[in-house]
A and B are shown apart, each in its own frame.
Chain A
């Protein structure tokens, strides 16, 4: 696609339910990143994927969070048993390759509200 596409754009869920957030990166981009941004805060690194390498999951806040990237393209971030503190914007980004020498393109984010 022309840009990074995320869905849903908005999600309201009840505490304890599972949610899946989807990211479709720019075609040909091998690196894909997930970040979380709470209201008015900076971006918190969650996980990144680079090609066929093992993902760096060091930013995932708990074992309720997981992510996968199928076929080196679309990625899904799953949050199990959601808690109110999970409410945030989840931003996905992609670049041609990993590392700060490559321009990173962001999606518009998925706004998650846990009630």
Chain B
């Protein structure tokens, strides 16, 4: 059973376009993390969101945690080819230590 569903699964866009990736669950999470993974490497942590409704910005990336702490989104403004990669949300449902990953969104930004 996949507790963290991401959408879209694949995304191919032109450089300069904006995009949003969604991470949804029926479970409550005390916090969620977003990672980016390059081919042949392990995931690299981008951000942690902790408070319901929280918004965090990392240069052109904006992360939001849903008010009910069941969902999160990642918005990229003016995407660049260097943003290409697999984006993963992850967390442990409240009351558990089982740290799980979302289904992933594979982003390709074309120059």
Question: A residues engaging B (CB < 8 A)?
Answer: 31, 33, 35, 40-45, 48, 50, 56, 58-59, 91, 93, 98-101, 103-104, 106-109
Contact = CB atoms under 8 A, between A and B. Distances in A.
B98 A101 contact: no
A23 B86 CA distance: 24
A42 B103 contact: yes
Contact of B99 (A44, A48, A58, A107): A48
Given A100-B30, A107-B42, A108-B41, A42 B88 contact: yes
Nearest to B43: A106
Interface residues of B, number: 27
Top 10 A-B pairs, shortest CB-CB distance = A106-B42, A98-B97, A42-B104, A43-B101, A100-B92, A100-B91, A42-B103, A100-B31, A99-B97, A45-B100
Contact of B29 (A91, A100, A103, A106): A100
19 contacts: A40-B106, A42-B103, A43-B43, A45-B101, A48-B98, A56-B97, A98-B92, A99-B30, A99-B97, A100-B30, A100-B32, A100-B48, A101-B31, A103-B45, A104-B33, A104-B99, A108-B40, A108-B42, A109-B42
B102 interface: yes
Interface string B32-64: 110000001111010010100000000000000
B90 interface: yes
